[in-house]
Amino acid sequence: MVKGLPRAIIKKYGVTKKAWAVYRGRHKSRVSKHVGGGKTRMVRRSYRRFSRKGRSNKSIIRTVEKLAGVGAFLYPGINKMHEKYGTEPAWAVVVDGLALYGGIENAQFSFGSLAKAWTPYVGFTLASKGAHKLAGIIRSL
């Protein structure tokens, strides 16, 4: 048997998340409440005191670690571009900086330039993963 939203809820809310919340009983709509001598006022009831929309579970340490990884990846290319800036055209400087990641320096392949480009990133990645593993081992003791 297929279950869906009742026609009355679809007519009032359409097929939306709010309609499903009302159907499942999680969303409380406005309810009139008697106050004092027969006066009514509208009160919005909520089942949650704080909205989860604005909160995030992101850690500052993870954000800093991500940015440091990006910096370790980009450093060799930017350093190469900075060395040649002003002596060559801008497009040639950018191409040389990007070619360094492929191991190409002065139009020739060399393992030295490949290692120069990737060593900071690989070293940072191994160090951060090793630190996390070490912290886990210490925590388990």
Shortest CA distance to 120 belongs to which of 76, 81, 62, 64? 76
* Per-residue confidence in pLDDT tens, the chain, 141 aa: 457 888 888 888 888 888 888 888 765 555 555 555 555 556 565 555 555 555 566 788 888 899 999 999 888 888 888 887 778 888 888 888 888 888 887 778 888 888 888 999 999 999 999 998 999 999 988
Q: How far apart are CA 18 and CA 119, in angstroms?
A: 52
Q: How far apart are CA 82 and CA 92, in angstroms?
A: 12
What is the number of other CB atoms lying within 10 angstroms of the CB of residue 104? 17
113, 99 contact by CB (below 8 A): no
- DSSP bridge pairs for 32: 42
Q: What is the pTM of this model?
A: 0.52
pLDDT of residue 1: 43
Q: How far apart are CA 132 and CA 126, in angstroms?
A: 10
